[in-house]
Amino acid sequence: MGPPDREQLTMRAKASRLLPVGIAAMLTTLVVVFYYPVGSVLSSAISAGGRLTLDPIVAVLGDPFYTGSAHSLVTAPASLPRRFAAWVNAGMPAVDFGLFGFTAYQALLSTIVSVAVGLPGAYLLARFEFPGREFLRSVTILPFVMPSILVAVGFLAMFGRSGVVNDLLATVGLGPIRLVFTLEIVILAHAFYNAPLVTRLVTAAWESVDTRSVETARTLGASPLRAFRDVTLPQLVPAILTASVLTFIFTFMSFPIVLALGGLQLATVEVWLFSRVQNLALVEAATLGAIETALSLGLIYVYLRFEATQISTHGKEHVRSRLPLFGDWRSISDPRRLGLFVYCLVAAVLFVGPILSLVIESLTTPDGAFTLDYYAFLFAQQASTAVGTIQPLAAITNSLLFGFGALVLAVPMGVLVSVVATHEGRGSRVAEALLTAPLAVSGIVLGLGMLRTLVFGITVFGHRLTVTGPIAIVAAHAIAAYPFVTRNVTPALSGIDDRLVDAARALGADRPTVLVDIELPLIAPALIAGAAFAFAISIGEFDSTVLLAEGVDSATMPVALERYTANRSLGPNLGPATAMGTVLLVVTTGSFMLIDRTGRRWER
Amino acid sequence: MTTTEPTIESTNSTEVEITNIGVDFGSVTALESISLSITDGEFFTLVGPSGCGKTTLLRSIAGLETPSHGRVSIGGRDVTTEPPEARNVGIVFQNYSLFPHLSVADNVAYGLQFHELSGERDPEGRVAELLELVDLPGFGDRKPTQLSGGQKQRVALARALAPEPDVLLLDEPLSALDARLRKKLRVQIKTIQRDLGITTVYVTHDQAEALAISDRIAVIKQGQIQQVDTPETVYRQPASRAVAEFIGNNNVFQGRVADDGRQLEIGGTLLPLPENHNRAPGTSLTVSIRPEALVVADSKQVDPAVLSATVETVEFLGDAYRVHCRWKNKSVLVTTAATTPPEGTVKLHFDPEDVHLL
């Protein structure tokens, strides 16, 4: 490519003049709905009565409840060698690291289980050919857009005291098993979310391994296993590490799943933070939020470092031919295939089970008879005028309205970040960091911040300004959703060949025409997919919504679902919750697929 | 660089023997029954259009493809059912396929852990020796991403040669490189091959490349061997119309042997045939004649062996002109060393002995 001519330079100059305007607009938005609210929360962790202090943070870190044995690092650092010696003398017993320790521990276990469940899936999808492979590969995205509270209710419907599993066990005279409020079920539910993520990332890496390099290793004398260990595995490790760190981040900050399946006795930092807010211990909550944010920023930094080490090979033309999964009769005795069939059974139970159980439980009485009572109950709620009743229809309308609002806000925000991310230059790196930072802040902290500032009101030049709950909710949802737009659009945008633009301009199109005729159609599928994500994320968002939907008027479906789950006085058992959950399931998958389908029509 | 004639005739043992190999992919037949003998130390090239099965044949020698039937033996040992790691072959692919996570030295050294080196040589010394051989001394610590395409391919060559394979297999090794580099590197490959005396099977779709570096060539079309011979023979005496049209530029005409038995009749025009052609009068016949065998005649010169053709396009090649003519609605290609391009109607004559019967 030759040096850019003057015409191109002026075009770029124009484009670069427009970009700062966009960045400024978005940063202003972020400052109002993100940095200021979150900052106000974080500042109360480091200030008291208008002066800076570390007291709240020291108080939390020095509290054995939060940091366990590590609290003495803060309270009595001098005694550490003595304590360490005493610990060694006592035969190194298990150490308790408090709430933070437990949160990290469950995140670590969840990560290990997610990787263990996800890797065979990657092996299956990357190395075997079978009918429905492409479909299976594309549905691995679905768990990610499932509202987490919905998944939690699905797990309750499956593993709960009167759930599907116990019903089945009872028919053969076994059981019941108790899994609710155990660490196991929390970890399983985390695996439901994150194992498909591991599968996706590792499958992509596996498929990009140049088959010829594996063959070369074979001709140089390596056995199939050695070739895998020496050539394939090293190229998978970055993807496995990236997926692990992401899973750790997600499960470290996980909220509705732990809340619904673990309860307060298995509380993680995020759940405890929520309960502190409910108990109006706001300084303590703010301090927890500040520490959590610092930790997740650190983890995201680690993640970005890992992601950067991904080796990009351009061996696309030599995708290794996949083995037929269903070969001739001999393949039945192949241990690899046998293992994969067992894996498929386990995966079907883990991934389809909870969703199916949700639907089944919503239609059956505890005795196993068919019933529509729970749906009738939802209608009864709709007609009820009692104070504090969440009306199902209102919740559905709210969810759809907020989802649409979040989509409208999140798509331009996400696209802007993509444009910045694909731009060269130091300034855009800084802008990208500022624009990406919201990823590190939990929904609870954001919700709390918005509640304290925008919703309760702020005074600007003597005027008291308040923002209503719904607007705050839409803003919070947009902030949760736009990173997903960015993740979809950035690869499409950076994949556009600059020469296409040059070619179109040489053919006589002016720059705006090129944008409409060439670039937009090329990124449209990614844009639509991003929009579908934004919508689904908004519909499923629970963390900030549960705080911001203070009344019943702005409650969304996930909030209603949580109410029905937690408050059994509303109904005989889990029934109403599963009915509400089924409605949420239908609305979420339906709208996700609708947007995605409409998008595909564009593609053609 | 000096060029000496290859002396493969002196060592005459067969290194690679392929007997009735066939490869099917599902219902598609990639190779029909193919048999080949490749001599020890020979530079043997499989050439043909893309999709003709030449790469499948190479992969069958390496053990990367399982033949549906037939036999492969290397050095007298039947390896048909052996996995690639048991065959002691070295392979180089078009897109380098260097291990991206290993340094250049580790790439070259990779095969050494599975092989005993002849003599008292240590792996490190062997790696240095090979990097020297491919003209990349001191590149050991670099990563593949820090190399140019030509450098990557030379590392891939060094990696394949390091464990002293019995056979070197090259699958379009130069096709990803630009023309100038391609010519330079093919001389380097040829030199290394001759100096090491290693049996080499080379796959290419580029007939000029095949002619330039091979001891012998197998022309393959649609899974079948068309001709196996030296480059000179394949060029001068193509065995079939397919070979004649694939190897080099050529003019192919179809007609019948005239009643006198000494001329070829094409649409009413009689052209001379070589002596002793032993085709009966009246039989239909396909002939080829190379563009360089056609001479643009002086207008004054009168010669019976003449085509009267119209010049359509002229390409200047530097040392010659390539002239695209039209004669009896057929295109005729002529290469001429004249200093000015011919134009209008030209008379083309030729030595009847240059007419090749197909």
ipTM of the complex: 0.80
Of A216, A230, A311, the CB nearest to B93: A216
Query: How near does any CA of chain A get to the CA of B77, in Å?
Result: 17
| Cβ within 8 Å, pair B114-A222 | yes
Q: Considering only CB atoms, which chain B residues are within 8 Å of A234? A: 99, 101
More confident residue, A561 or B138: B138
Cβ-Cβ pairs closer than 8 A, A with B, add up to 76
- pLDDT score, position A490: 81
Q: Is B115 on the interface with A (CB under 8 A)?
A: yes
Give residue B9's pLDDT band: very low, low, confident or very high (50, 70, 90).
Answer: very low
- Residues from chain B that touch A318, judged by Cβ atoms under 8 A, are 95
A19 in contact with chain B, both atoms CB, cutoff 8 A: no
- For the beta carbon of residue A98, count every other beta carbon within 10 angstroms: 18
Measured between CB atoms, does A327 come within 8 Å of chain B? no
Question: What is the band of B48 on the pLDDT scale with cuts at 50, 70, 90?
Answer: very high
The kind and range of the H/E element at A75 are helix A72-75
pLDDT tens, residue by residue, A354-377: 888 888 888 877 777 777 777 777
Instruction: Name the residue in chain A with its Cα closest to that of B62.
Output: A219
Tell me which amino acid residue A178 is.
Answer: R
- Look over chain A and give the mean of its residue pLDDT values, rounded to a whole number: 79
pLDDT digits 0-9 by tens, A18-31: 667 777 888 888 88
Quick check: A215 and B62 CB within 8 A?
yes
pTM: 0.80
Minimum-distance CB partner of B97 among A213, A222, A224: A213
Residue B222 backbone zone (phi > 0: left; psi -120 to 50: alpha; other: beta) = left
- Local confidence band at B78 (pLDDT 50, 70, 90 cut-offs): very high
Chain A interface disruption, residue of B101, B126, B166, most A CBs within 10 A: B101
Residue with tokens 């159980």: A357
Task: Provide, as residue numbers in chain A, all residues whose Cβ is less than 8 Å from the Cβ of B99.
Answer: 213, 217, 230-231, 234
Contacts (Cβ under 8 Å, ≥6 apart) of B156: A216, B92, B93, B96, B97, B98, B107, B173
Q: Does B110 touch chain A (CB under 8 A)?
A: yes
Mean pLDDT value across residues B286-311 = 80
- Between residues B5 and A466, the one the model is more confident about: A466
pLDDT band for position B304 (50/70/90)? Answer: low
Contacts of B165 in chain A (CB under 8 A): 219
The overall average pLDDT reported for chain B is: 88
The more confident residue out of B281 and A312 is B281
Q: Which residues contact A20 (CB under 8 A, 6 or more apart)?
A: none
Dihedral of alpha carbons A297, A303, A307, A309, sign: positive
| Interface membership of A313 toward B (CB under 8 Å) | yes
Alpha-helical segments (H) within A384-423: 392-421
Q: Which of A99, A113, A397 is nearest to A271 (CA)?
A: A99
Identify the closest residue of chain A to B156 by CA–CA distance: A216
The structure tokens 């593949």 sit at B144
How far is A15 from A13, CA to CA, in rounded Å?
5
Helix (H) or strand (E) run with residue A490 in it: helix A469-494
CB contact under 8 Å between B115 and A215, yes or no, is: no
Contact B173, B189 (CB under 8 A): yes
Nearest to A184 by CA among A95, A258, A94, A274: A258
More reliable by pLDDT, A346 or B199: B199
Going by the DSSP 8-state scheme, the letter that residue B255 receives in this structure is E
Q: Are B288 and B251 in contact (CB under 8 A)?
A: yes
- Low pLDDT (below 50) residues in chain A: 1-2, 4, 313-317, 570-572, 602-604
Q: Does B62 touch chain A (CB under 8 A)?
A: yes
- The reported pLDDT for the residue numbered B8 is 45
Best to test chain A binding among B25, B95, B112, B166 (most A CBs inside 10 Å): B95
What is the full DSSP assignment across A112-169? HHHHHHHHHHHHHHHHEE-TTHHHHHHHTTHHHHS-HHHHHHHHHHHHSTTSHHHHHH
Beta-bridge mates of residue B219: B47, B227
User: Cα–Cα–Cα angle for A440, A444, A450, nearest 5°?
Assistant: 95
And the tokens for A502?
Answer: 């040059």
Q: Give the start-end residues of each E strand in B124-262.
A: 167-171, 199-204, 216-221, 224-229, 251-257
Spatial separation of the C-alpha atoms in residues B34 and B281, rounded to whole Å: 35
Q: Does A219 touch chain B (CB under 8 A)?
A: yes
Cross-chain Cβ contact A318/B95 below 8 Å: yes
- When computed from its CA atoms, the radius of gyration of chain B, rounded to whole angstroms, is 24
A128-129/A323-324 β-pairing: parallel
Please name which of A119, A192, A189 lies closest in space to residue A160, comparing C-alpha atoms.
A189
Partner-chain residue, chosen from A215, A223, A311, that has the shortest CB–CB distance to B101: A311
Q: Which residues of A touch B152 (CB under 8 A)?
A: none
Per-residue confidence (pLDDT) for residue B205, from 0 to 100: 93
Q: Which candidate from A221, A313, A315 shows the least CB-CB separation from B111?
A: A221
Task: Check if B169 contacts A (Cβ < 8 Å).
Answer: yes
Does A171 reach chain B within 8 Å, measured CB to CB? no
